[in-house]
Chains A and B, each alone.
Chain A
């Protein structure tokens, strides 16, 4: 699977109602570390069938960013059964993201 770009209108369906755990990457286009992290998320999305990887652009979707109290990016929030289970802030290696799962 690829990294799916999500907005406020389908967040509920794609993230909160997902049957599998979801990693949500809150990012911005001006954020260098976010760009560096993206290939890692793409790899996870490609390699693992048991997780979904979603991206949320915080400039377009500032309400989602506010709602989940994102105040530093990259911020990857893990959702399980419709609720936040964990989060990781900053540029981290793949191991650190997978350790949350």
Chain B
């Protein structure tokens, strides 16, 4: 039996692995996709202490190498469930099941989809969830951003420098994002706010050609765009673990600063936990705290 199984090799999970290995606990990290988590999408991190500029890929690779050098074992398998048998926790993947004394769930979050027909089919053919990743493909073209939070506002501003025209589609008439960013957008000649409106239909031939939006009264309007950037928030990856976690209405795992959950010996760390600030520095901080709690739990049981 492993001492500590960590689910998710994002910044939170890999930091937890570093702390747990430094306390000489055996560590297995299970990762569904690749190490690094969301941060690999950004070409430049500017707000992590010490590294003034570092790419998300380099950041992830350095943390991965650090955890590996300390002896953490990584397996690239998706965890499908966590079962609590008291002193023994069972983590199942499609092919295997692993047992541990303590488990840290650090599964982060995924982009929320709009939920409009043909959305998935058009990913990479006009639909995108990351303006900084895919914006460059839309130089001189017409695009729309959907959402009203900071990500949507920042994406629209970023795209306004690249695209010919940017529509910002938001279902309310006020933004959740910062007023300063909203003002900067209003000052742009090539940005049009489409408020009180939701996206109803996607039109395409081989790729996206236009979207139909509807206002509150249901009046449709067709907007010609070749790109639609969806920025309607993120969904925490907790639904497979609801047997051992208490989830809030948005699906985040309820746990305070100490990262403990309703199940003794099961901890959460990172973006999938209830918290105000979801950043690298808070994810890595959670990793340290959750590992410390898990180490204590293993020592005491």
Contact = CB atoms under 8 A, between A and B. Distances in A.
Interface of A: 30-33, 35-37, 69-73, 75, 87, 89-93
Contacts of A36: 33-36, 40, 57
B57 A90 contact: no
A69 B125 contact: yes
Contact of A33 (B40, B123, B128, B207): B40
B55 interface: yes
B227 interface: yes
Contacts of A70: 124, 137
- Top 4 nearest A-B pairs by Cβ distance? A89-B124, A32-B40, A32-B57, A36-B34
Contacts of A37: 34
B158 interface: no
Given A70-B137, A71-B138, A87-B124, A93 B41 contact: no
B43 A69 contact: no
B32 interface: yes
Interface of B: 32-36, 39-43, 55-57, 60, 76, 123-126, 128, 133-134, 137-138, 206-207, 226-227
Contacts of B34: 33, 36-37, 91
A48 to B, nearest CB: 19
Given A33-B40, A87-B124, A72 B32 contact: no
A71 B129 CA distance: 12
B137 A93 contact: no
Given A32-B43, A35-B57, A72-B137, 19 more contacts: A30-B43, A32-B42, A32-B56, A33-B40, A36-B34, A36-B35, A36-B40, A69-B206, A71-B124, A71-B125, A71-B126, A71-B226, A71-B227, A72-B133, A73-B134, A89-B123, A90-B123, A91-B40, A93-B76
A93 B43 contact: no
Contacts of A90: 123-124
Contacts of A32: 36, 39-43, 55-57, 60
21 contacts: A30-B43, A30-B55, A31-B133, A32-B40, A32-B41, A32-B42, A32-B55, A32-B56, A36-B34, A36-B36, A36-B57, A71-B137, A71-B207, A72-B124, A72-B128, A72-B133, A75-B124, A89-B124, A91-B33, A93-B32, A93-B76
A35 B60 CA distance: 11
Contacts of A71: 124-126, 128, 134, 137-138, 207, 226-227
Contacts of A91: 33-34, 40
A5 to B, nearest CB: 19
Nearest to A74: B124
B33 A69 contact: no
Nearest to A87: B124
Specify which of A69, A71, A72, A89 lies most central, judged by the most chain B CB atoms within 10 Å of its CB: A71
Nearest to B58: A32
A94 to B, nearest CB: 9
Contacts of B55: 30, 32
Nearest to A93: B33
